[in-house]
């Protein structure tokens, strides 16, 4: 029924206008799935390897497609993804590219769902999924690797933690985005948009913190439920290994000072979420921060864990962080993303499913978040490639 009949690959545009990989999987019974690979700008050292799109496509056609066509069932995700791993033969997908691998993996999942006549989230998570929905984290102010001449902190994220439903949460995040714009205009501060659609004003981190705090407070009053905010500090990008210090704008901090600084922000602003507050190899620093604030906020490892179960196990052993960011293209397959989520949840870590800065209109991560009961999802707030995920969450909620 769901035997893969053919796999086609092509180069298409991502949200930055760069080429990315799109895969289509067809089954012998007429099932079909299409998926597109995203691409990161602020990438961790230990991520699976993304190849140039045309190179990834050529390699996948040579090595992966023959292992899939007529040989595996689209509805058996682990079988599909095992075939991709075998075709690549490396630990980091450097042979066929994580971008081709994840596109095929997600397309096969959609084809399997099509054959089964199920929405993707049910196909991935089972019939009882879809009853809980993630809180969307909306990137409303940004800098770092996503925008030049803006904040040193990479993302300021609206977190509508008190929203009664996913629709209200989505619209609250959009309202925070608009409120930030109005505050900037009132203060005469010109700001463009970064590559995720967040405002990128020429502000210090301290001024941006006050601005976002004001915006979320206004929106919380307007909507009648609690709206907090969080940060993606992308600290690996700010770490100078030679001096063993973090450089954020005009400020230079030791590891202990960075832990103190972040803990102080959690205290002062009631942050709901802090991602990558320390370097991607600093398990000890993550553990120190988690011990101090982990009972009040999510301390999330992105570059620290890169959706990799081996790195996550190391973090669990050292009590480093209490949350993991999950990006399927970071590890290469949906199966391995699921494995990371399962390991996280079984050890009390909160999984946060995430988009990338170079995105597409693909909505797979919305279904992945619902399928795994993830407490949060990062999608951004504006731009068609971001709102595609948010609108899909609303549709799932209406249809569940």
Binding site, annotated residues for substrate? 146, 155, 275, 302, 354-357, 378
- Nearest alpha-carbon partner for 103 in 334, 366, 342: 334
Q: How many residues does the chain have?
A: 400
Tell me how far apart the alpha carbons of residues 51 and 97 are, in angstroms, rounded to a whole number: 5
Quick check: is 327 catalytic?
A: yes
User: Are the C-beta atoms of residues 146 and 200 closer than 8 Å to each other?
Assistant: yes
Partners of 8 in the beta sheet?
24
Residue 65: which of 88, 89, 90, 38 has the closest Cα? Answer: 88
Residue 102 contacts residue 61 (beta carbons within 8 Å): no
CB 40 within 8 A of CB 357: yes
Closest CA to 109 of 80, 87, 83, 130: 80
Q: In the chain, what is the straight-line distance between the N-terminal and C-terminal CA atoms, in Å?
A: 26
DSSP secondary structure letter of residue 274? E
**C-alpha to C-alpha distance for 181 and 178, rounded to whole angstroms:** 5
Q: At what angle do helices 53-63 and 77-88 cross, to 10 degrees?
A: 100
Point out the annotated binding site for (2R)-2-phosphoglycerate.
154, 327, 356-357, 378
Q: Which two tokens stand for residue 306?
A: 């890169």
Binding positions for Mg(2+) are 232, 275, 302
- CA distance readout (Å), 295 to 157, 162, 181, 273, 284: 20, 18, 33, 12, 18
Distance CA 232, CA 137 (A): 11
- What Rg do the C-alpha atoms of the chain give, in angstroms? 20
Q: How many CB atoms lie within 10 A of CB 217?
A: 15
Give me the catalytic one of 47, 228, 237, 327.
Answer: 327
Residue in this structure with the two tokens 């904040």, named with its chain if needed: 151
Catalytic residue among 22, 196, 280, 392: 196
228 in active site: no
Positive or negative: CA dihedral 61, 64, 67, 69: negative
| CA–CA separation, 378 and 157 (whole Å) | 9
The residues carrying an active-site annotation are: 196, 327
């Amino acid at each position: 029924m769901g035997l893969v009949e053919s796999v086609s690959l092509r180069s298409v545009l991502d949200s930055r206008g760069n080429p990315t990989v799109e895969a289509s999987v067809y089954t012998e019974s007429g099932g079909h799935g299409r998926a597109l690979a995203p691409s990161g700008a602020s990438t961790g050292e230990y991520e699976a390897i993304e190849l140039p799109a045309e190179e990834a496509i050529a390699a996948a056609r040579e090595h992966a497609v023959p292992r899939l066509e007529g040989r595996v069932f689209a509805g058996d995700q682990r079988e599909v993804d095992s075939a991709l791993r075998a075709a690549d033969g490396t630990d980091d997908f450097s042979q066929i590219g994580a971008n081709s691998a994840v596109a095929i993996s997600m397309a096969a999942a959609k084809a399997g769902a099509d054959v089964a006549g199920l929405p993707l989230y049910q196909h991935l998570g089972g019939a009882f999924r879809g009853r809980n929905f993630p809180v969307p984290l909306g990137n409303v102010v940004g800098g770092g690797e996503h925008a030049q001449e803006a904040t040193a902190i990479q993302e300021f994220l609206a977190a509508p933690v008190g929203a009664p439903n996913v629709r209200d949460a989505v619209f609250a995040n959009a309202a925070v985005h608009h409120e930030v714009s109005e505050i900037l205009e009132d203060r005469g501060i010109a700001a463009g948009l970064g590559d995720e659609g967040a405002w990128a004003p020429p502000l210090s981190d301290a001024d941006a913190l006050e601005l976002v705090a004001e915006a979320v407070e206004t929106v919380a009053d307007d909507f009648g439920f609690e709206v907090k905010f969080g940060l993606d500090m992308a600290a690996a990008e700010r770490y100078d290994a030679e001096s063993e210090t973090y450089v954020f704008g005009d400020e230079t901090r030791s590891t202990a000072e960075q832990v103190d600084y972040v803990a102080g922000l959690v205290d002062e602003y009631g942050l709901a979420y802090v991602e990558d507050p320390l370097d991607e190899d600093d398990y000890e620093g993550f553990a120190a921060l988690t011990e101090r604030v982990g009972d009040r906020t999510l301390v999330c490892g992105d570059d620290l864990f890169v959706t990799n179960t081996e790195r996550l196990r190391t973090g669990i052993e050292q009590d480093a962080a209490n949350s993991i960011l999950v990006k399927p293209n970071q590890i290469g397959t949906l199966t391995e993303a699921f494995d990371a989520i399962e390991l996280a949840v079984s050890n009390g870590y909160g999984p946060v499913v995430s988009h990338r800065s170079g995105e597409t209109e693909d909505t797979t991560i919305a279904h992945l978040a619902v399928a795994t009961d993830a407490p949060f999802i990062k999608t951004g707030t504006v731009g068609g490639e971001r709102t595609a995920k948010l609108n899909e969450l609303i549709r799932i909620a209406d249809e569940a």
